[in-house]
């Protein structure tokens, strides 16, 4: 772990040796820095004011706060992986579990039936989102909404969400980032007119959420319900 002072401002950057199988996403720098400061202050005060009289309480507080700090750091982890590529392959945009495979009528963009595959991300999953295929961004829209649990079928249309459509030579694909009961911030990096590359970062969602992928009806599904998938690795479908 490396601490840097840049122009008088405090910045925490986590750097892992190349031997370790992960690094920390840029979205985690600020919250991790704040968490480290709170951890340090809390435990310094605890050891100074409490340890002499209640040493067990001090050690319990240290272990609990250290566990929480490790969880926050792990939430922003990005594992080093060998990513899957293929022009006709739709790669999973997120880590998690497949919770929906069905035909649905899309009211937002296509105004017709599409094949929907949904991946639920728990707080323990990696939360970076990736482009499922290469192409041109032709639609990008943020929607305010509720914070229903992400596995609720109504979350696709009623929760806070961010939708993008990537135009591929074999058909348009809509990717919908959906906030869950714990996810309070959806981050999307794409813009209309942008040419995107398969597996490059699409965005990030904090603390549990869901991603829907809406495909042409003739797409061949390559996953099953309740299957655990990896973003950038697992093939959801071929088109």
Domains of the chain, residue spans:
2-79, 89-238
Residue-wise pLDDT for 164-174, tens only, equals 999 999 999 99
Beta-strand pair 161-168/135-143: antiparallel
CA dist 169 and 181 (Å) reads 36
With tokens 């229903």, the residue in question is 148
Structure tokens at 52: 């002499």
pLDDT given for residue 72 in this prediction: 86
pLDDT given for residue 71 in this prediction: 86
**% the chain with pLDDT above 70:** 82
Residue that wins the pLDDT comparison between 68 and 25: 68
Judged against a pLDDT cut of 50, whether residue 239 lies above it is answered with yes
Tell me what the pLDDT averaged over the chain comes to.
Answer: 85
Please check whether the domain covering 89-238 is classified as CATH 2.70.70.
yes
* Catalytic status, residue 155: no
Judged against a pLDDT cut of 70, whether residue 114 lies above it is answered with yes
Q: Which has the closest alpha carbon to 180: 210, 144, 141, 212?
A: 210
Residue that wins the pLDDT comparison between 14 and 129: 129
pLDDT band at 8 (very low <50, low <70, confident <90, very high): very low
Whole-prediction pTM value?
0.79
Tell me how many degrees the CA angle 203-232-178 measures, rounded to the nearest 5: 40
Catalytic residue among 46, 155, 163, 209: 209
Tell me how many degrees the CA angle 126-127-133 measures, rounded to the nearest 5: 100
Residue-wise pLDDT for 81-92, tens only, equals 899 999 999 999
The β-bridge partners of 188 are: 203
């Amino acid at each position: 772990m490396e601490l840097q002072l840049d122009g008088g401002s405090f910045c925490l950057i986590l750097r892992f040796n190349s031997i370790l199988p992960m690094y920390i996403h840029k979205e985690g720098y600020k919250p991790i820095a704040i968490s480290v400061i709170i951890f340090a202050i809390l435990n310094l005060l605890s050891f100074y004011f409490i340890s002499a009289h209640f040493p067990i309480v001090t050690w319990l507080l240290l272990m609990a706060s250290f566990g929480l700090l490790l969880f926050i750091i792990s939430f922003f982890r990005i594992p080093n992986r060998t990513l899957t590529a293929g022009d006709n392959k739709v790669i999973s945009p997120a880590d998690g579990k497949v919770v929906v495979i069905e035909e649905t009528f899309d009211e937002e963009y296509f105004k017709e039936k599409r094949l929907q595959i949904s991946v639920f991300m728990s707080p323990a999953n990696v939360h970076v989102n990736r482009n499922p295929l290469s192409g041109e961004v032709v639609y990008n829209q943020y929607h305010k909404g509720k914070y229903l649990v992400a596995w609720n079928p109504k979350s696709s249309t009623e929760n806070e969400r961010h939708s993008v459509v990537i135009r591929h030579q074999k058909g348009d694909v809509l990717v919908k980032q959906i906030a869950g009961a714990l996810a309070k911030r959806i981050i999307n990096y794409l813009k209309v007119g942008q040419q995107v590359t398969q597996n490059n970062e699409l965005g990030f969602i904090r603390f549990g959420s869901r991603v829907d992928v809406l495909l042409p009806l003739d797409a061949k599904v390559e996953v099953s319900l309740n299957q655990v998938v990896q973003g950038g690795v697992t093939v959801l479908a071929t088109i």
